[in-house]
Amino acid sequence: MEGRTTAEDSDRPAERAQATDASQAPADPWRAFLDPADGTEFLNGWLAIAGARIETAQAGVLFLRGDAGRLGVAALWQVGTAGTERHVALAEALLRKPEPLLQRGESDTLLGYPIDSGGVVQGVLVLSLASHPDGAAMRRLMRELHWSCGWIEARLMQGQAALGRKQASSAQLLTGLLAACDAHERFDGAALALVNAIPDLTGFDLAALGMLRRGRVRLEALSRVAAFGRKTGRVAAIEAAMDETLAQVSPVTWPAPEGERQMIDVAHRALGRDLGAGALISAPLLVRGQPVGVLLLERGREGGEAVALAEGTVEELQLVAAALAPLLKAKHDERRLLSGRLRDWAGRGLSAVFGRRPAITLGALVLAIALTLPFVIRTDLRVRADATVEGSEQQAAVAPVDGFLAEAPARAGQVVQAGAVLARLDSRDLELEAAAAAARVSEARQALREALAGGDRASAAVANADLAEARASASLIDGRLARLTITAPIDGLIVSGDLSQRIGAPVGRGDTLFEVAAQDGWRLRIDVSEYDLGLVTRGQEGHAVLVGLPDAPVSFAVQSIAAVSEPGDGENRFRIEALVRDPPPGLRPGMEGVAKIVAGETSLAMAWLRGTLLRMKLLLWTWLP
């Protein structure tokens, strides 16, 4: 990993040839072969020379393996890219069976020759021959191809040797950096040793290490600087560049190399101007895919000009960052008080008390204590059940007669006085009935007068009975008219009933229109499961937490236990009435919550397991004969 541009185009000829148009032969093959500008020119010159040395050769195609391991066209001689279908098919056949192969065609003969390097076919040369070679001509042709392809094999071996040297150099660099970082037990010393070793081993002029803390990168170490002020502008610029790298979770290079994806480098440009740098490169430190810090390198200008980084520098820096990240994160975490130093001190103390393996001994001790404590600790045995708030006195206002709703000024939530109007029914039908009843009374009275005037006692008796009946009917209708106004039976709060949207709707005799609860006392309706009923007795106390008043527990005392159960949630429940003591402000009828009745004292384990043990006993009783 160096801060200079180096070119080894000959090491990867297939890659270079695939990226260019190799259909044009060089004007001077020998110059291209002896003094090539790049690998593509060397291969084109070699193919032109090799083809010209074979008398019957008309055209040729050289295939070499690329970085992906697949064959690609590396050089062409007297043939265009569009005319290589037969050559490609013959090259693929040679990969399956790597030995010289002749393929006779209508106008020419194709000869395929495998190029072997290290026991692996690294390339294939396919020549188009004007005539099919016989035995002697074939031997001369093979001898010529053997000598010619030796240049390609040597070139490939040079590339492999250069790759090996590069890998060895990378391994040596990585080993040196890991050794410098691991030479110190504390993070501060390791970070400073690392950034000081990087310029000596890589050729960069400055190295900086930043670690992620509370969502931002903080500069931890700067090469050849023992201490630095965190509030200086240069430190802020370095941390801004590191934040920029961390936000993209990808290496950032400035100036950006040509032909590569452009990264956001605003902070890097500003840092480069501040430092007067020739080049900057930074890479994130990743641990299991999560960023933990940033490593930033700087190279100074050469002659006042920017410096282009050597090819492969980004990949090599990523390799170094991937190897150093876990070690740096572990040392950085150990610097923290709770998760680092305090844990280290605790570990040393436990080792002194429990021996070389304190974790096993301490774990067994903690487990034993955790299993024993629930059976030793005493606590209240409490019965849990659903609870609903009700008024101590609650009465209903019902419809006295069948009719239609004419007026409903009251609704749920209002506080009313006894006798206050809650609703009125329509009186028109009853008024008509009252008029008809009055007419029948007048008719019966007139009949009685006529009978008395005529001295007819029998008719007078009948008329007198009809008059009494008409008067009774009229009195009944008047009573019904007097009860059309529905009033509050007691002082209190209307807990149900809102008829404002039902004006004109019919109501039946006995229908509950309103419920009024007195506010001078409250009670709880607690639905206790039959599994817990045996623990509840009159006079027991407890507390209830309501959904509407979670911060104000309601204390109560059990008053009565119902003898009849009601089904609910898959089990039978018995209703228990409890008197509320010291009701909190804001208590309203209908509020629901959870009540817990104190039913004695027991161990913590029995309080947890009582319900499960009871159900298991019933299950065993059911199964046992």
Cα 418 to Cα 432: distance, rounded to the nearest angstrom: 31
What pLDDT was estimated at residue 4? 42
Average pLDDT over residues 362-384: 86
Closest-CA residue to 21 (of 79, 66, 91, 60): 79
pLDDT of the residue at 477: 75
- What is the reported pLDDT for 165? 66
Q: By mean pLDDT, which of 96-100, 252-256, 342-346 is the weakest?
A: 342-346
4 close to 310: Cβ distance less than 8 angstroms: yes
Starting at the edge strand that comes first in sequence, how are the strands of the sheet with 421-425 ordered?
485-487, 421-425, 403-407, 506-507
The encoded tokens of residue 254 equal: 């400035």
Distances (CA, A) of 470 to 433, 441, 503: 12, 5, 33
pLDDT tens for 281-296 read: 888 888 888 888 888 8
What confidence category does residue 376 fall into, taking pLDDT thresholds of 50, 70 and 90?
Answer: confident
Pairing status of strand 109-117 against strand 120-129: antiparallel
Beta bridge partners of 544: 554, 595
Of the candidates 298, 235, 210, 202, which has an alpha carbon nearest to the alpha carbon of residue 1?
202
Give 544's pLDDT tier (boundaries 50, 70, 90): very high
- In tens, the pLDDT along 153-189 reads 777 777 666 666 666 666 666 676 777 777 777 777 8
180 three-state secondary structure? helix
Question: Would the pTM of this model clear 0.75, i.e. be above it?
Answer: no
Q: Is the pLDDT of residue 470 over 90?
A: no
pLDDT surpasses 60 at 8:
no
One-letter amino acid for residue 60 of the chain: G
Q: How far is CA 463 from the centre of its chain?
A: 93
* pLDDT confidence band for 194 (50 / 70 / 90): confident
Q: Cα Rg for the chain, rounded, in angstroms?
A: 51
With cut-offs at 50, 70 and 90, classify the pLDDT of residue 401.
confident
- Total length of the chain: 625
Round to whole Å and give the CA distance between 361 and 344. 18
Task: Using pLDDT thresholds of 50, 70 and 90, give the confidence band for residue 126.
Answer: confident
> CB–CB of 561/538 below 8 Å?
yes
Q: Which residues, listed in sequence order, are joined to residue 421 by a DSSP beta bridge? A: 487
Residue identified by tokens 């008059």 is 467
Q: In whole angstroms, what is the distance from residue 416 CA to residue 410 CA?
A: 9
| Residue 292 CB-density burial (10 A; 0-12 exposed, 13-18 middle, 19+ buried) | buried
DSSP 236-272: HHHHHHHHHHHHHTS-EEESPPTTSPPPP-HHHHHHH
Look at residue 5 and tell me whether its pLDDT is greater than 70. no
Taking alpha carbons only, the member of 579, 544, 542 closest to residue 381 is: 542
For the cut 80, the answer to whether the pLDDT of residue 33 exceeds it is: no
Under a CB-based contact definition with an 8 Å cutoff, are residues 539 and 558 in contact? yes
The pLDDT assigned to 511 comes to 78
Residue 285, burial from CB neighbour count under 10 angstroms (0-12, 13-18, 19+): buried
List of E strands, 441-496 = 485-487, 492-496
Residue 352 in tokens:
């002194």
Residue predicted with more confidence, 303 or 369: 369
The predicted pLDDT at position 556 comes to 92
> Quick check: 334 and 188 in contact, CB under 8 A?
no
Between 607 and 68, where is the model more confident? 607
Task: Please provide the average confidence, as pLDDT, over all residues in the chain.
Answer: 78
**Is pLDDT larger for residue 212 or for residue 119?**
212
As a whole-number percent, the residues of the chain with pLDDT over 90 amount to: 3
